[in-house]
Amino acid sequence: MPIVNLLSDTVTKPTQGMLEAMFRAEVGDDVFREDPTVNALEAKCAALFGHEAALFCPSGTMTNQIALKVHTRPLDEVICDEMSHIYQYEVGGYAFHSGISVNLLKGENGILTPELVDAAVKPRQDWLPKSSLVVIENTCNKGGGSIYPPERIRAIRAVCKKHDLALHLDGARIFNALVETGDTPASVGAEVDSLSICLSKGLGTPVGSVLMGNQAFIAEARRVRKVMGGGMRQAGYLAAAGIYALDHHVERLKEDHIHARLLASALAELPYVANIRPVQTNIVIFDLVAPVPAASTADPARLSAAKAAGTTPAAFLDYLKRNGVIASAFGPQTIRFVTHLDVKREMVERAVEVLRGF
Ligand SMILES: *Cc1c(COP(=O)(O)O)cnc(C)c1O
């Protein structure tokens, strides 16, 4: 019985076709820009999103951190949602690498509005950080895979222009958004100064992210990648996986979204689930009904009722694991499921059975 791994869309292993593409890759030393497959991947991404240039990097954390560094000077600030990956999950790198502060906004499930951004921009005063960059995340991981409506991005872009701010898109899961909205990569690319995409999430490669921007931005980004230790040599084997993924694994993301909705509709029927964030793509985030504290359950009838409904993430995840389903805690009472390339329909159906058995 294969394990149903809903931990993250980063857990995918290369398919046979991807491995063959990697095996056949022509490679060279990319620090000297002599890896033809890396060059091809960068050119492909730049053309796809309508940007002048692209840079292949080991991780999405690195592409984001490079973008922060190139767009800002020390004592600047970046404006972003409090759920942003750059704030939550990149070890505070904005302060470490770039010497900048962060101006956190409360959007809806990680999605900002132009009004929120406009009101957050600081006036130019000697005693204030200088607002210089806005980062949006599409889809937003902590927001439950939430999608930016395209017109929202355009409106935020207009606010950025008004205040002379750069706009960076953390598009780790941009293709999950695009297959739902039906927009083209170029239409999103046109609204931002830089963007980062992950090849190792839903697209299923073992390693890699790509940063895009204009020539001057990518020239500087290449230097910052090197100082961070991200200059790779025969990286074409990894780039080949990326090219394969862009050609074969984008449209099928819709299946992951169907699978996520199946899981969510099963959860909606279950007594131990308190609430589920709206499911728009491949991420399902939900809260468990909290266990009733022992002191308030002296009455044995109430105690068994409480036990029946309430649970801790640890107990729930342990039950799932014993039944071949892997997931993760995403807060004190919160669980996250992520669907991906290696989760097939029959595995989703099995996971639903396991959920019903708790
Ligand atoms: C995964 C992810 C990243 C990058 O993560 P790495 O593990 O460093 O590749 C960036 N932003 C978002 C929204 C992500 O989900």
Place of tokens 């190792």: 200
How open is the CA angle 154-195-174, to the nearest 5 degrees? 75
Tens digit of pLDDT for each residue in 181-198?
A: 999 999 999 999 999 999
- Ligand 1 atom 3, closest CA: 60
Percent of all residues in the chain with a pLDDT value above 70, rounded to a whole number: 96
* Rounded Cα gap, residues 270 and 5, in angstroms: 21
Cβ-count burial 197-222 (b if 16+ within 10 Å, e if not): bbbbbbbbbbbbbbbbbeeebbeebb
First to last CA, the chain: 19
Q: Which domains does the chain have, with CATH numbers?
A: 16-248 (3.40.640.10), 252-356 (3.90.1150.10)
Tens digit of pLDDT for each residue in 2-32?
A: 899 999 999 999 999 999 999 999 999 999 9
280 in Cβ contact with 180 (< 8 Å): yes
Other CB atoms within a 10 A radius of the CB of residue 23 amount to 9
Note the pLDDT of residue 1.
76
- The burial of 103, by beta-carbon neighbours within 10 Å (0-12 exposed, 13-18 middle, 19 or more buried), is given as middle
Task: State whether the Cα torsion 266-2-175-232 is positive or negative.
Answer: positive
- Ligand 1 atom 10, closest CA: 60
Note the pLDDT of residue 198.
98
- Ligand 1 atom 4, closest CA: 60
Which residue numbers in the chain have pLDDT < 50?
Answer: none
Task: State whether the Cα torsion 152-161-43-87 is positive or negative.
Answer: negative
Instruction: Find the 271 Cα to ligand 1 centroid distance in Å.
Output: 33
Q: For residue 79, give the nearest of 95, 102, 58 by alpha carbon.
A: 102
Q: For residue 265, give the nearest of 279, 282, 253 by alpha carbon.
A: 279
Q: For residue 174, give the nearest of 208, 144, 134, 201 by alpha carbon.
A: 201
Instruction: Find the 60 Cα to ligand 1 centroid distance in Å.
Output: 5
Note the pLDDT of residue 310.
87
Note the pLDDT of residue 308.
62
Q: Distances from the Cα of 353 to the Cαs of 7, 269, 318, in angstroms?
A: 18, 12, 16
Task: Look up residue 160 and give its amino acid.
Answer: C
Instruction: Find the 198 Cα to ligand 1 centroid distance in Å.
Output: 7
Rounded to an integer, what is the distance from CA 6 to the centroid of its chain?
15
Q: Distances from the Cα of 50 to the Cαs of 192, 215, 347, in angstroms?
A: 10, 12, 38
**Which of 201, 207, 283, 328 best tests ligand 1's pocket when mutated (most atoms within 8 Å of CB)?**
201
* Rounded Cα gap, residues 221 and 331, in angstroms: 34
Instruction: Find the 22 Cα to ligand 1 centroid distance in Å.
Output: 23
Q: Residue 89 carries which DSSP code?
A: S
* Rounded Cα gap, residues 104 and 189, in angstroms: 24
Instruction: Find the 90 Cα to ligand 1 centroid distance in Å.
Output: 8
348 in Cβ contact with 262 (< 8 Å): yes
Task: Look up residue 342 and give its amino acid.
Answer: D
How open is the CA angle 203-9-83, to the nearest 5 degrees? 110
Ligand 1 lining (C-beta closer than 6 Å)? 59-61, 64, 85, 137, 141, 170, 172, 198, 201, 209
Note the pLDDT of residue 13.
96
How open is the CA angle 154-160-164, to the nearest 5 degrees? 145
DSSP 102-167: EEEE--BTTB--HHHHHHHPPP--TTSPEEEEEEEESSBTTTTSB---HHHHHHHHHHHHHHT-EE
257 in Cβ contact with 179 (< 8 Å): yes
